[in-house]
Structure 1
Amino acid sequence: MQELSVIVYGRDVQGHLADCLDSVTGQLPEGAELVVAAVDDPAPTADVPGRVTVLALPRAISDEEARAAGGERASGEWLLFVHAKDRVPPGALRALRDRVAGLPDGAERVDVVLADQVRSTWHAAGIPGSDARLLAKAGDRDLALADCPDLLRVTPLLGNRALRAAFWRDHRDRLAATDERFAARAALVLAGRVTALQQVVLDERRLRAASLPPLTPEEYYAPVGEYEDLQRLMAGRGTPTGPRAVLYDVMATECMRIVARAGMPEPVGREFFRRASRAAVAWRPEGYRRPAGLEGIRRRLLEEDAYARYRAFQSVNHKRRGLKSAVRQRKRRIGAKVRDHRYRRELRRPVDPDLAVFSAYWDRGMACNPAAIAAKAAELAPRIHQVWVVSAAHAPLLPPGTDHVVPGSRRYWEVMARAKYLVNNVNFPNAVVKRPEAVHVMTHHGTPLKRMGLDQMEYPTASKGLNFRQLLARVDKWDYSVTSNSHSTRTWERAYPAHYVPLEYGYPRNDVFYRATAADIRAVRARLGITPGRRAVLYAPTHRDYEASWTPRLDLATLADRLGDDTVLLVRGHYFYGGAASPLAELRRSGRVIDVSTYDPVEDLCLAADALVTDYSSIMFDYANLDRPIVVYADDWEMYAKTRGVYFDLIAEAPGPVARTQDELTEILATGAWRDEASGKARAAFRRRFCEFDDGRAAERVVRRVFLGESDASLPPVIPVDERIPAPTPEEAARR
């Protein structure tokens, strides 16, 4: 028997079945099978390392009947139903299989594993919803629906929940031949226990309404009947008040949304309102209180079946919002004209030769290469007055006394117009004028593995929303481009073609990796709470363009448990396992996992870590300067390379061991493989190629050339890689 059966079912709507099958066959793990229960006898599109069953179904079959047929033929202990138009994100099936394989049997066994999902439309891919917050609230506990009734608010799809096969068969009359939305929620009502998996397992494709057949009146009315059937199911099972109240609230909210947005013909809208009103009155829980504000007024009108008054209320509300919007737009236009006038006036004034503007990461604060250059300029060119561009949200985090401006403010446009030096690790806004006397230094913020600039044009997922003409207009403002290796120099010249001068001086932010002392490293580890003698592993994954929200690719709780108390994981990523119900809460309290996602500067984390685990993040190029072990976790390399585009084969030219699964990663970290002889040789080759100009004096070279006007010949020469002495390791620092 397989652990997991993936059932792809339904009609091949608008030709999306092939994409769906590809998304499954490309990642079907051992211990899983694929059952294709789709119309017109499709065939899998790739060789699959597992069992595949293809059902030939007649054209007249419905989605519900196809789903039921697939469920009957499945042999797995757990079933995941995926509609033929949807897709399964990379890594999802392995994560789901691992989760269900670890669930206990017995009287209190889990019947439903509820996971996250994203949605895609014709114009956008991987759009996250609000389910992640609900799943985080539930944590990884095994619980009854009454313990967390808000799970009924999770998007009602069968593709984002795995069902125990025995549970499915026990309730097939309610789950197999019914609408997917009803079946998805009914599964939660019928389940003995439910658990959450905080990973995206489904990419739901939402088709354009205009591309589908128009709904009949009965299809419009169907949601009301489904909610009433669910309430009857709850009543018959004696479901507690909590879940029933949540379902009632979901029903009322959706019914009002349908009335407002569905564009129903007037007679159909009136009848829908009448049916929804009847359901709202009949199933209102005892003690239920309407929401406050406008939503409360809508609910009252619904309960009173006051359709005409609701439409009048809706019309007045639309006019009120339209008027407020018009007023806001007028204010914005007037404000923009005033700001433009002031900016143009400032541009007519002389450039201030002693004024420099710094920014980093879209105005997020003092960081990265600009911060290192600013610090060295304060030392070598103290006449330069420095002003940082920082957003209002990040301004309170600046060191006391830092002169700064908020984007869009009056003084912002003044300093942008008059500054001699403009230093940034990303581009300044399009509206910023580059004056002939000004000097623009682009420092960048990483060595490129992924495709950048014009090289992204071949990759729609990566270039979505980019205006390449505007990009080149911004690039044309550069005078200097700072690089840390020849690979970057060549890449930037191709990806950003313009008449700037490459400064092959190294990345200033990496100077600290050669300047830090043993005392500095001990101090950083103390601030992070890493006790002496423990191994610290920094886990820093990168963003994926094909995911709208960050998908955890490692089960950190299991990894920390396998590595033991002698290892602490420094986790730097997007929001992850947050909240009081976090499955990592106990590990955090024990000091085995430290969330450093918001810790700055990141260079401190590198200094504190004995080893780095990353996927495709440019942090690997910086960390290599320390000559410490690097492990690459590349579970979705093929997907990443295909969708984002890359400049070289990381698997073949990695800076250390490469793991393709969590078990392989655990084995590397649990044995000596993470720092063995082969790892050292791979790292040495990587350092020679990508740490070419980083020797601890990059910031000095930039300041002397740009701010002091010294020639290249007079600058400190780059020390060869083999002759450099990086900062001591934590192990060495502890002995000094």
Structure 2
Amino acid sequence: MPVLLSIVLPVHGVERFLPRCLDSLLADTPSFESRFEVIAVDDRSPDRSGAILDDYAARDPRLRVLHLAENQGLGGARTAALPEVRGAYVWFVDSDDWVPEGTVTALLDELTGELERERRGEAPADVLLTDFVHVYPDGGTEPNPWRHVLTGSPLVAGATLAEHPAVFRTVMSVWNKVFRREFLLGLGVSFGRGFYEDISVTYPALLAAERLRYFDRPCYFYRRGRAGAITSTASAKHADAFAQYDAIFAFLDRPDPADRPAPADHPDRPGRPVPGTLRTLVFERTVQQALTVYDTPGLVPVGLRPEFFRRIAEHFTRHRPAGYRFPGGVRGVQYRLAARGARRAYAELRRTGRLPRELKRGARAVAPALKKGVRSSARFTAYNTFRRMPLNPNLAVYAAYWHRGYACSPAAIYEKAKELAPGIHGVWVVENRVQAATLPDGVPYVIVNTPAYLRTMATAKYFVNNVNFPRTMAKRPGTVHVQTQHGTPLKAMGMDLRDHPVAADGMDFDRLQEAIDRWDFLVSSNPHTSEHFARAFPGRYEMLDTGYPRNDRLADATPAGTAAMRERFGLAPGRTAVLYAPTHREARGGYVPLLDVRELARRLGPEFTLLVRTHYFHTGGPGDLTADENAAEILDVSAHPTVEDLYLAADVLVTDYSSMMFDFAVLDRPIVVFAPDWEEYKRDRGVYFDLFEQPPGALTTDPEGLAAALLAGDPEPAARADFRKRFCPWDDGGAAERVVRRVFPTTG
């Protein structure tokens, strides 16, 4: 069978991350599936990466390893692999990242469809763009921030860049793009040397493609902020970007494709004419990137900053399109200063938010920029301008789960503050308009990186979040930051992860301490949590021993509320609803199906309904949940936004090491722990107590025991009572009120 997809994997100094990457690529399809191959390039790695590759290759013929005699860098390693690829399509994956479960299979299916198009005489996709997820050192994730630019666009069916130029607003890296091999080789471009090596390929490919397509499925977990990554490394090599820009414009300056023949060794389409509007977009995007690198603290070494800024001015001179007009507003002022090489004036504008004297005549042009979305260096300037305004003593900012929406303890505190502190105006931060649409009616909101967001973040007195706000939003004197966290910890947290490198996975502990130092209050769910949080998050904050506000709803639950939730999920009267919710496992990545849910459904029979909820870090879903005849009904509830609804609907919880067990215990309903990999999890993640010695109910390590415990009804009520006594003493329905009365000025 011909190879459909070749995955090129450059490897250098990633011993800690490489097994996870390889497992995610190779464990996804039948062991010796021949439709894809992985070509790994050991770029003279100084650690055991080369040996790891050889070990995997000895066990799996789909993996081939090239060992380079000299270090070539990412670009050189990819270039060395290209002559070896056999697939119709090529995907360049970074070896410190990984892919969600099911990704390779899903891509193979998509690419099969593209080849079917070609056999019918239709144009296949030259480049397939995929969705992705950012993963941060603290374990937090962020959906693709540019997804809204692609969903619902012509690219879903297929289009050119000229038909959807908004692609230039998305990430230009190579790892979320799958290239048709003959098209790529026929472009006559190559990866650069040094930093930003991939843009000399991605820009030409997007510009020349006859058909671009967007595949709306998260296919990639991209690490952000990893120590050693170029985006967090001070180096003179950031100036390598200018050589890549030159290569891009050299491609643009080639003769019209109609006037030049295709290369003899690659008789593919040689490309398409590039409209002048696209050239302008390319130019502005490269200027924006260069200024972002210059503006980001800690990237360009201090002694090299004047030379870097001079290179930006030179870039203007060399590649500025004919008839180019500067944009309006703050961005336009910054571009004018950069074009002149006016580094000191640029620094004054960035530092103070005020225009230099020589540009004050153009001050009117700045105002329109504050009415639109603000990006890049203009965002920093606008935010600092707003920070010069007085704090608003009656303004509170709320967020949850990295701006995903209205949830958890911040939502409970917001509701109670409306009642007890009506003088405080609460505003929610959400990532985009899609998430804004999920907010309850009447809840005020701002969207990340808009002027309204920057002004709100710069002037609010109160901040409430269950994770940390971005470090770029600096704490002002007089502000009050309330950190609620989002679960009672069984697993090691915060600074305690320094002893567990697999779970820490590159966490920046210095940055974590910076975040902790902002906190004024830390909400605790129970005495156990207070004890361990005080050590895991060392700081000068006040610990609020209040219980979790999000659990007030569970403490106040009524039979009528439970019945309403069961009806909402279509649960038939008399059926036992089992909520199955496994946690995230850092050492494995992705959704880990340690339990065959369909087999469990067969064992339980039609008197049960299984509600399956994967962890929110996972994007691939739990797979096929089609129930057999005479088996329990299976419902995938992973996308349901409010987990408390699921708690109320469920008769019993099945989990492993999730903090959900501590919340569900408030309802005093049966809990069954399914822990087949306890020793592995305890070793890799670290835990605060032995779950086998004090479980919240029945505890099993095999599917047969799990089914037996569920069929038994309520096999361990005494264990649950002991668990509730230890972990639920403050859950009386008043936690949110206790937080609000301590933090906000209340009326009664």
Q: Which of residues 338, 342, 367 is equivalent to 2:407?
A: 367
Determine the structure 1 residue equivalent to 2:734. Answer: 697
Determine the structure 2 residue equivalent to 1:78. Answer: none
Is 2:457 the counterpart of 1:388?
Answer: no
Determine the structure 1 residue equivalent to 2:725. Answer: 688
Is 2:286 the counterpart of 1:326?
Answer: yes
Q: Deviations over 1:659-710 (max 9, x none)?
A: 212222122223x1x512xx11211221111112111110111111111369
Q: Secondary structure of the residue that 1:420 maps to in structure 2?
A: strand
Determine the structure 2 residue equivalent to 1:342. Answer: 382
After the TM superposition, which residues 247-262 of structure 1 pair with which residues of structure 2 at under 5 Å, given as runs?
253-254=180-181
1:119–1:205 CA contact under 8 A, matched in 2: no
Counterpart Cα distance in 2 of 1:118 and 1:588 = 44
Q: Secondary structure of the residue that 2:464 maps to in structure 1?
A: strand
| Of 509-518 and 253-262, the range deviating more from structure 2 | 253-262
Is 2:624 the counterpart of 1:666?
Answer: no
1:355–1:419 CA contact under 8 A, matched in 2: yes
Determine the structure 2 residue equivalent to 1:463. Answer: 504
1:649 partner letter? D
Determine the structure 2 residue equivalent to 1:306. Answer: 264
Q: Which of residues 467, 481, 488 is equivalent to 1:426?
A: 467
Q: Which of residues 410, 413, 419 is equivalent to 1:379?
A: 419
Q: Deviations over 1:340-361 (max 9, x none)?
A: 3332233232222211111111
Counterpart Cα distance in 2 of 1:644 and 1:247 = 48
2:591–2:621 CA contact under 8 A, matched in 1: no
2:534 partner letter? E
Determine the structure 2 residue equivalent to 1:635. Answer: 676
Q: Secondary structure of the residue that 2:437 maps to in structure 1?
A: helix
After the TM superposition, which residues 217-236 of structure 1 pair with which residues of structure 2 at under 5 Å, given as runs?
none
Determine the structure 2 residue equivalent to 1:268. Answer: none
Counterpart Cα distance in 2 of 1:558 and 1:541 = 16
Q: Which of residues 701, 708, 714 is equivalent to 2:745?
A: 708
Counterpart Cα distance in 1 of 2:517 and 2:602 = 52
Counterpart Cα distance in 2 of 1:420 and 1:617 = 34
Is 2:612 the counterpart of 1:652?
Answer: no
Counterpart Cα distance in 2 of 1:292 and 1:568 = 49
C-alpha deviation, 1:537, in angstroms = 0.4
Counterpart Cα distance in 2 of 1:183 and 1:300 = 43
1:529–1:591 CA contact under 8 A, matched in 2: no
2:403–2:431 CA contact under 8 A, matched in 1: yes
Change (3 A) 1:461 1:377: same
Change (3 A) 1:597 1:221: closer
Larger radius of gyration: 1
1:127–1:548 CA contact under 8 A, matched in 2: no
| Of 657-666 and 325-334, the range deviating more from structure 2 | 325-334
2:182–2:266 CA contact under 8 A, matched in 1: no
Counterpart Cα distance in 2 of 1:590 and 1:313 = 56
After the TM superposition, which residues 424-573 of structure 1 pair with which residues of structure 2 at under 5 Å, given as runs?
424-573=465-614
Change (3 A) 1:254 1:589: farther
Is 2:661 the counterpart of 1:620?
Answer: yes
Change (3 A) 1:306 1:419: same
**TM-score normalised by L of structure 1:** 0.58
C-alpha deviation, 1:384, in angstroms = 1.3
Counterpart Cα distance in 1 of 2:472 and 2:489 = 27
Q: Deviations over 1:87-143 (max 9, x none)?
A: xxxxxxxxxxxxxxxxxxxxxxxxxxxxxx9999542342389979996xx9xxxxx
Change (3 A) 1:261 1:182: farther
After the TM superposition, which residues 122-271 of structure 1 pair with which residues of structure 2 at under 5 Å, given as runs?
122-123=13-14, 124-125=17-18, 126-127=20-21, 153-155=35-37, 209=68, 253-254=180-181
After the TM superposition, which residues 58-137 of structure 1 pair with which residues of structure 2 at under 5 Å, given as runs?
122-123=13-14, 124-125=17-18, 126-127=20-21
Q: Secondary structure of the residue that 1:694 maps to in structure 2?
A: coil
C-alpha deviation, 1:594, in angstroms = 1.1
1:445 partner letter? H
Change (3 A) 1:442 1:589: farther
Gaps of 5+ in 1: 1-116, 139-144, 146-150, 158-178, 185-203, 228-240, 265-289, 715-736
1:131–1:155 CA contact under 8 A, matched in 2: no
Change (3 A) 1:467 1:623: same
Gaps of 5+ in 2: 1-6, 40-56, 90-111, 127-177, 193-207, 214-250, 252-256, 296-330, 332-374
After the TM superposition, which residues 604-615 of structure 1 pair with which residues of structure 2 at under 5 Å, given as runs?
604-615=645-656
Change (3 A) 1:155 1:537: farther
Change (3 A) 1:292 1:470: same
Counterpart Cα distance in 1 of 2:279 and 2:67 = 28
| Of 493-502 and 350-359, the range deviating more from structure 2 | 350-359
C-alpha deviation, 1:567, in angstroms = 0.4
Q: Deviations over 1:312-349 (max 9, x none)?
A: 979x9999997564144257564444333332233232
Aligned positions, number = 496
Q: Deviations over 1:390-409 (max 9, x none)?
A: 11141111122221011111
C-alpha deviation, 1:547, in angstroms = 2.6
**TM-score normalised by L of structure 2:** 0.57
Q: Secondary structure of the residue that 2:418 maps to in structure 1?
A: helix
Change (3 A) 1:219 1:618: closer
Counterpart Cα distance in 2 of 1:524 and 1:319 = 55
Q: Secondary structure of the residue that 1:568 maps to in structure 2?
A: strand
1:372–1:699 CA contact under 8 A, matched in 2: yes
Counterpart Cα distance in 2 of 1:129 and 1:331 = 38
Q: Secondary structure of the residue that 1:503 maps to in structure 2?
A: strand
Q: Secondary structure of the residue that 1:440 maps to in structure 2?
A: strand
C-alpha deviation, 1:153, in angstroms = 3.9
C-alpha deviation, 1:551, in angstroms = 2.3
Change (3 A) 1:578 1:154: farther
Greater fraction helix = 1
Determine the structure 2 residue equivalent to 1:406. Answer: 447
Q: Deviations over 1:286-307 (max 9, x none)?
A: xxxx994489x9x999x97624
Counterpart Cα distance in 1 of 2:565 and 2:552 = 17
Kindly report the root-mean-square deviation, in angstroms, between the aligned alpha carbons of the 2 structures. Answer: 4.9
1:387–1:405 CA contact under 8 A, matched in 2: yes
C-alpha deviation, 1:444, in angstroms = 0.7
Q: Secondary structure of the residue that 1:543 maps to in structure 2?
A: coil
Determine the structure 2 residue equivalent to 1:63. Answer: none
Change (3 A) 1:247 1:339: closer
Determine the structure 1 residue equivalent to 2:714. Answer: 675
Q: Secondary structure of the residue that 2:721 maps to in structure 1?
A: helix
1:386 partner letter? G
1:566 partner letter? E
C-alpha deviation, 1:430, in angstroms = 0.5
1:483–1:502 CA contact under 8 A, matched in 2: yes
Counterpart Cα distance in 1 of 2:447 and 2:179 = 43
C-alpha deviation, 1:451, in angstroms = 1.3
Determine the structure 1 residue equivalent to 2:102. Answer: none
Change (3 A) 1:668 1:212: farther
Counterpart Cα distance in 2 of 1:359 and 1:377 = 15
Change (3 A) 1:518 1:223: closer
